[in-house]
C-alpha cells in the first residue's frame, strides 16, 4: 500500500528466492528495470511507481501473493495466486475524525497528481479514494494517521456503517451512522460525542468507508 513497504517485502522475497531484481522483473514479463524504478521513486520521496498489474505479475515469481506484497496479508509463502481483488485509490488528502472541518480537496474531481495507494478485499467496481485520518474520534477502528478507503459509489445509509460526510460547503468529517440522523465517534476518547443533524437536513454523503490501513 505504501510503496516503500511494498519494496521492503519485494526485497525480502528476492532474498528468499535468490533472485536478482532485474531477473525477477524479466521473469514476470516486466521491464528489467521495473523494481529499480520503484527504488528510485522511494528515494525521490514518491509513493507511486508500482501498478496493480506490476504487483500481480511479480507475486508468482516471488512465490507469494499480491495481498502479501501489498499489506503483508495472509501467508508469505504461497502459490502466487492473486486471491481477493486489489484496487488502487488516489490518496487525495486528510480527513477530520472530529468535527466537520474545512477540506474542499476531499470532493475534488481532478486526482491526477495525487499519490496512488493499494488495498485488497475491496470492490473493483467501486469509485475509490483514500484519505489520511486526522484526529482520534474514530481511533477504535481508524487510528490517527491511518488511511481509509472510501467508495464514492456507495452512498446508501446503512446503520452502524461508516462514512465520510460533507456539509456542502467544503467541510467534511468521518463518522459512524446511527439512525435516524446521528453521526457517532468510535473512540477511546470520551470527550467525543455524537452530533445529530436537524430533522429534514440530509448530510452530503461523499462515500462509505470500507477499509482502514495503518503503517507501522
DSSP letters for 58-93? HHHHTTS-HHHHHH--S-SS------S-EEEEEEEE
**What is the per-residue pLDDT for 102?**
45
Contact between 64 and 13 under an 8 Å Cβ cutoff? The reply is yes
**What is the per-residue pLDDT for 150?**
95
Round to whole Å and give the CA distance between 134 and 47. 19
Round to whole Å and give the CA distance between 70 and 83. 12
Among residues 110, 55, 105, which one has the least CA distance to residue 80? 55
**What is the per-residue pLDDT for 207?**
94
pLDDT, tens digit only, all 216 positions of the chain: 578 888 999 999 999 999 999 999 999 999 999 999 999 988 887 766 677 788 888 999 999 988 888 878 778 887 555 455 678 888 888 877 655 554 444 555 556 677 888 887 788 899 999 999 999 999 999 999 999 999 999 999 999 999 999 876 667 889 999 998 899 999 999 999 998 877 777 788 999 999 998 865
Cell numbers representing residue 164 in the block: 465520510
The number of angstroms, rounded, from the C-alpha of 47 to the middle of its chain's C-alpha atoms is 12
Neighbours of 208 (CB within 10 A): 21
**What is the per-residue pLDDT for 90?**
86
Task: Encode pLDDT of 66-78 as tens digits.
Answer: 888 887 877 888 7
Q: Which domains does the chain have, with CATH numbers?
A: 3-83 (1.10.260.40), 87-213 (2.10.109.10)
The number of angstroms, rounded, from the C-alpha of 172 to the middle of its chain's C-alpha atoms is 18
Amino acid at each position: 500500500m505504501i510503496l516503500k513497504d511494498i519494496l521492503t517485502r519485494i526485497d525480502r522475497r528476492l532474498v528468499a528466492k535468490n533472485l536478482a531484481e532485474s531477473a525477477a522483473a524479466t521473469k514476470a514479463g516486466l521491464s528489467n528495470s521495473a523494481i529499480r524504478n520503484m527504488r528510485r521513486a522511494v528515494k525521490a520521496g514518491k509513493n507511486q511507481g508500482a501498478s496493480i498489474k506490476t504487483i500481480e505479475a511479480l507475486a508468482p515469481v516471488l512465490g507469494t501473493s499480491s495481498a502479501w506484497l501489498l499489506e503483508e496479508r495472509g501467508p508469505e509463502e504461497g502459490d502466487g495466486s492473486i486471491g481477493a481483488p486489489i484496487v488502487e485509490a488516489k490518496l487525495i488528502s486528510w480527513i477530520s475524525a472530529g468535527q466537520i472541518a474545512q477540506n474542499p480537496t476531499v470532493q475534488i474531481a481532478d486526482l491526477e497528481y495525487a499519490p496512488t495507494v493499494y488495498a485488497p478485499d475491496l470492490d473493483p467496481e467501486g469509485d475509490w479514494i483514500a484519505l489520511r485520518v486526522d484526529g482520534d474520534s474514530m481511533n477504535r477502528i481508524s487510528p490517527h494517521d491511518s488511511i481509509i478507503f472510501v467508495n464514492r459509489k456507495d452512498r446508501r445509509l446503512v446503520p452502524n456503517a461508516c462514512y465520510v460526510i460533507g456539509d456542502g460547503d467544503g467541510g467534511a468529517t468521518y463518522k459512524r451512522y446511527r439512525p435516524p440522523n446521528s453521526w457517532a465517534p468510535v473512540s477511546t476518547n470520551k470527550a467525543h460525542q455524537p452530533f445529530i443533524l436537524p430533522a429534514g437536513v440530509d448530510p452530503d454523503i461523499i462515500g462509505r468507508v470500507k477499509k482502514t490501513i495503518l503503517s507501522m
